[in-house]
Amino acid sequence: MTLGFLIYKIIFVLIIFAITLLVATYSTYAERKIAAFLQDRIGPDRAGPFGILQPLADAVKMFMKEEMIPSVSNRMLFIIGPGVCMLTACMTGVVIPWGPAMNIGGKVYPLQITDLNIGVLYLFGVVSLGVYGIMIGGWASNNKFSLLGAIRASSQMISYEVAMGISIIALVMTTGTLSLGQIAADQPGMHWNVFIQPLGFLIFIICAFAETNRAPFDLPECETELVGGYHTEYSSMKLGFFLFAEYINMFISSAVISTFYFGGYNMPFIARFVHDPNWLAVLGFVFLFTKISFFIFVFMWVRWTLPRFRYDQLMNLGWKILIPLSILNLLITGGWMMRSEILHFFIK
Amino acid sequence: MQALTNRSKVVAKKEMTFIEKLYLPAIFSGMIITFKHFFRRKPTIKYPEQIRPFSGVYRGQHVLKRDENGAERCTACGLCAVACPAEAITMISAERKPGEENLYREEKYAATYEINMLRCIFCGDCEDACPKEAIFLTERKVDSLYTRNELIFGKDILVESRENPIDLSKRQTPQVKEFKHHKEFAHNVVFEKKK
Q: How far is CA A149 from the centre of its chain?
A: 20
Helix, strand, coil fractions of chain A, as percent rounded to 5: 70, 5, 25
Q: In B, which residues are within 8 Å of A306 by CB distance?
A: 27, 30
Rounded to the nearest 10 degrees, how much is the dihedral formed by the CA atoms of A14, A18, A21, A22?
-170
Q: In B, which residues are within 8 Å of A34 by CB distance?
A: 38
- Tell me: the pLDDT tens digits for B40-54? 888 888 888 888 888
Four-way CATH pick for B62-194: 1.10.3720.10, 1.25.40.10, 3.40.50.1980, 3.30.70.3270: 3.30.70.3270
Q: In A, which residues are within 8 Å of B44 by CB distance?
A: 41-42
Has residue B193 got a pLDDT over 60?
Answer: no
Question: What local confidence, expressed as pLDDT, does residue B189 receive?
Answer: 52
Among A89, A92, A85, smallest CA distance to A121 is for A92
Answer yes or no: do A40 and B31 touch at CB < 8 A: no
User: What average pLDDT does the segment A231-245 reach?
Assistant: 84
HSE, CB side, 13 Å, CA atoms: give it for residue B91: 21
- Other CB atoms within a 10 A radius of the CB of residue B188 amount to 8
Percent of chain B residues past pLDDT 90, beyond the cut: 13
Question: What local confidence, expressed as pLDDT, does residue B195 receive?
Answer: 45
Q: Which region among A109-113, B14-18, B40-44, B116-120 has the lowest average model confidence (pLDDT)?
A: A109-113
Query: Rounded distance, CA A161 to CA A155, Å?
Result: 10
**Which among A40, A42, A301 has CB closest to B31?**
A301
Assess A316–B contact: CB distance below 8 Å, yes or no: no
Cis peptide before A216 (omega within 30 of 0): yes
**Which among A39, A45, A302 has CB closest to B31?**
A302
Local structure of A102: helix, strand or coil: strand
Q: In B, which residues are within 8 Å of A39 by CB distance?
A: 37
Has residue B90 got a pLDDT over 90?
Answer: yes
**Confidence grade of residue B186 (pLDDT, cut at 50, 70, 90):** low
Has residue B192 got a pLDDT over 70?
Answer: no
Q: In A, which residues are within 8 Å of B33 by CB distance?
A: 305
The mean pLDDT value of chain B amounts to 84
Percent of chain A residues past pLDDT 90, beyond the cut: 2
**Which among A45, A304, A306 has CB closest to B27?**
A306
User: What average pLDDT does the segment A135-160 reach?
Assistant: 85
- Other CB atoms within a 10 A radius of the CB of residue A191 amount to 12
The residue type found at A286 is V
Answer yes or no: do A40 and B35 touch at CB < 8 A: no
Q: Domains of chain B: which residue ranges?
A: 62-194
Q: What was the ipTM of the complex prediction?
A: 0.75
Q: What is the DSSP string of chain B?
A: ---S-S---PPP-PPPPHHHHH-HHHHHHHHHHHHHHHTSPP----TTT--PPPPTT---SEEE-B-TTS-B------HHHHH-TT--EEEEEEEPPTT-TTTBSSSEEEEEEEEETTT-----HHHHH-SSS-EEE-SPPPPP-SSTGGGEE-HHHHBPPSSSPPP-TTTS-HHHHHHHH-TT--HHHHHHHH-
Domain that holds residue A133: 3-347
Burial of residue A314 (CB within 10 Å: 0-12, 13-18, 19+) is buried
Local structure of A112: helix, strand or coil: coil
User: What average pLDDT does the segment B43-71 reach?
Assistant: 86
User: What average pLDDT does the segment B57-76 reach?
Assistant: 88
User: What average pLDDT does the segment A38-65 reach?
Assistant: 86
Q: Which region among A157-166, B107-116, B171-180 has the lowest average model confidence (pLDDT)?
A: B171-180
Query: Rounded distance, CA A261 to CA A193, Å?
Result: 5
Query: Rounded distance, CA B70 to CA B67, Å?
Result: 5
Q: In B, which residues are within 8 Å of A305 by CB distance?
A: 27, 30-31, 33-34
Answer yes or no: do B34 and A45 touch at CB < 8 A: no
Has residue A291 got a pLDDT over 80?
Answer: yes
Q: In B, which residues are within 8 Å of A301 by CB distance?
A: 31, 34-35
Enclosing H/E stretch for A64: helix A54-64
Nearest CA-CA distance, residue A215 and chain B, Å: 13
Nearest CA-CA distance, residue A38 and chain B, Å: 5
**Which among A37, A45, A302 has CB closest to B38?**
A37
State the total domains in chain A.
1
Q: Which residues pair with B66 in a beta bridge?
A: B72
The residue type found at B47 is Y
What is the length of chain B? 195
Mutant choice from A32, A40, A298 vs B, greatest count of B C-beta within 10 A: A40
pTM, 2 dp: 0.77
**Confidence grade of residue B129 (pLDDT, cut at 50, 70, 90):** confident
Question: What local confidence, expressed as pLDDT, does residue A175 receive?
Answer: 84
User: What average pLDDT does the segment A255-279 reach?
Assistant: 80
